[in-house]
A = this chain, B = another copy of it.
Amino acid sequence: MEKFGKVDEYLSVRGIKPSYQRIKVFDYLIRYRNHPTVDTIYKELVGEIPTLSKTTVYNTLKLFHDKGIVLVINIEDNETRFDADVSNHGHFKCIKCGEIYDFRLEAENLNLPDLSDFKIDEQHIYLKGTCPKCE
């Protein structure tokens, strides 16, 4: 994951003090790139960090989101997921296996009409269906 350089430096540069917990959470996000929920992150890390609390995971992800280094993914109404890839891309969720795939989104692919007076800050494209493995 050279793209991020050393994680503590990546965080520092963006005004986030690189605490042990924050480094581990961010490291998890970029290592697995699996669009995890808070619960997934917590369960994965608590083995390594026995004192970890979910509150800290919530705090950390909120901070990351405020600082613009993670995206919040609301593709399903009963689970909030997170993504450290903040580039412009879309998400596809397979309704059979539950896997979430990323796909590239070129600007010209989204030529939205009559929104000239709207200032667009965020753009989320969510698709649902069946992935090649499950078809």
Give chain A's interface residue range (CB within 8 Å of chain B): 35 or more
B residues within 8 A CB of A126? 74, 122-126
B residues within 8 A CB of A77? 72, 74, 80
Question: Quick one: CB contact mask for A65-96 with B, threshold 8 Å, 1 for yes?
Answer: 00000001011110010000000001010010
B residues within 8 A CB of A113? 103-106, 109
Partner of A103, one of B72, B109, B112, B123: B112
Partner of A120, one of B74, B120, B124, B127: B127
Chain B: CB-nearest residue to A122: B128
B residues within 8 A CB of A80? 77
Give A74 to B74 CA distance when docked, in angstroms.
6
B residues within 8 A CB of A92? 115, 118, 120
Chain A positions within 8 Å of B, measured between CB atoms, are 72, 74-77, 80, 90, 92, 95, 101, 103-106, 108-115, 117-132, 135
